[in-house]
Structure 1
Amino acid sequence: MTAEADDSAAEVAPEVMVIAYDGTRNARRAVHYAGRFLSANRAVLLTVWTPASRATEPVAVDLDGPPDPADVDDVDIAHADAQSTNAEGLALARSAGLAAEPLCVPTMSTVWNTIIETADALDADLIVTGTRGTTGLRSLLQSSVADRVLRHGHRPVLIVPPGR
């Protein structure tokens, strides 16, 4: 291999790869393919989660002094679930040979937009995602997250279809 070929190969390898992971079989397949065929200096395993909406608490008058401290057991179940899902994906990515790091990001709009915004914030060279692989009329009615990331993002996207 010539020095020129070495330089062009170095330019192809992504510095930062974002792998969207939601715990589904298709997401696990995407992690597997990323580990098998890609290398990156930094692989970020991204799990997007929707915060549990909390009803506004009624106004109360506290007559016994300062307000009571917040309940430390008050955990957002959606966040805890996202962390668990992300940890599973992180272990899978590392077993696939990726130097992966975890990242859970809450969404305030859509999952696909959060993936794009996170990839932009990380200046990712590549986004990896799985897809449900719907076809026909169903695909026209239900645009997938992967499809929207591909259409609305401005970064290369590797979409791994579902297995047979």
Structure 2
Amino acid sequence: MTDSTLTILIAFDGTWRARRALEQAARFLRPGAVELITAWEPVTRQTARALGRTGLPQTTVELEYDDHDAAQTHARAALEEGVTLAGDLGIKARAHLVETSGTTAQAIIDAAKELDVDVIVVGTRGLSGVRSWFNTSTAEQLMQNGGLPVFVVPPAEDEEQPEDGDDHDTPLSAF
């Protein structure tokens, strides 16, 4: 049985974590339809931010702007994969590609408010201990700042998970 009254936003970046979150949302929330969002950041902005971390003046590298952005292309492909997976799970998904100039969490929160959703679904890396001190958690930011219920899907303990970088993670988002 599906719940057609619940409006769900699922953050999807194409990683195994995002696929698991979508699968678990289908299993436990049983939505008839979802809003699927992929947040991405232009390569030029990623480069400028990375340069800022080095302490070098950002004017030392000339950034080129063009209509073709590799991060956008990757994000669009991830979003299309999410729509296909949702369909395979019996869920109708509306796709939203969102360019972010801030954090991924803020892009998700802004989209959730604009789309007037009831709950946000997001996967997480499930980091703990010292590693969690140095990694920003989008799921945690959503819970603290979103003002909406957040359905957080951790990695399964018995599930073999790809090593970092093995499942085409890119800087388009870090759910």
TM range (shorter): 0.7 to 0.9
Alignment gaps of 5+ in structure 2: 46-62, 158-175
Counterpart amino acid of residue 41 in structure 2: T
Query: Structure 1's 129 and 14: CA in aligned 2 closer, same or farther, altered over 3 A?
Result: farther
Higher radius of gyration, 1 or 2: 1
Identity over aligned pairs, percent: 40
Shift of 1:42: 3.5
Shift of 1:141: 2.9
> Which residue in 1 is equivalent to 2:36?
45
Name the CA distance, whole Å, in 2 between partners of 1:75 and 1:149.
30
Match of 2:21 among 4, 19, 30: 30
> Which residue in 2 is equivalent to 1:121?
114
> Which residue in 2 is equivalent to 1:97?
90
1:14–1:39 Cα contact (<8 Å) kept? no
Alignment map for 1:1-150 (pairs within 5 Å) = 14-53=5-44, 55=63, 74-150=67-143
Q: Secondary structure at the match of 1:91?
A: helix
Aligned length, in residue pairs: 139
Name the CA distance, whole Å, in 2 between partners of 1:88 and 1:41.
18
Counterpart amino acid of residue 125 in structure 2: R
Counterpart amino acid of residue 35 in structure 1: A
Counterpart amino acid of residue 40 in structure 1: P
Name the CA distance, whole Å, in 2 between partners of 1:75 and 1:37.
39
Shift of 1:83: 0.5
TM-score, normalised on structure 2? 0.72
Name the CA distance, whole Å, in 2 between partners of 1:16 and 1:123.
8
In angstroms, what is the RMSD of aligned CA positions?
Answer: 2.2
Shift of 1:13: 6.2
1:35–1:96 Cα contact (<8 Å) kept? yes
Shift of 1:14: 4.8
Counterpart amino acid of residue 26 in structure 2: G
Name the CA distance, whole Å, in 2 between partners of 1:48 and 1:120.
15
Alignment gaps of 5+ in structure 1: 1-9, 58-70
Counterpart amino acid of residue 132 in structure 1: R
The superposition leaves residues 14-47 of structure 1 with CA deviations (integer Å, 9 ceiling, x where unpaired) of 5321000111111110000111121335301110
Counterpart amino acid of residue 24 in structure 1: T
Counterpart amino acid of residue 17 in structure 1: I
Query: Structure 1's 23 and 56: CA in aligned 2 closer, same or farther, altered over 3 A?
Result: closer
Counterpart amino acid of residue 16 in structure 2: R
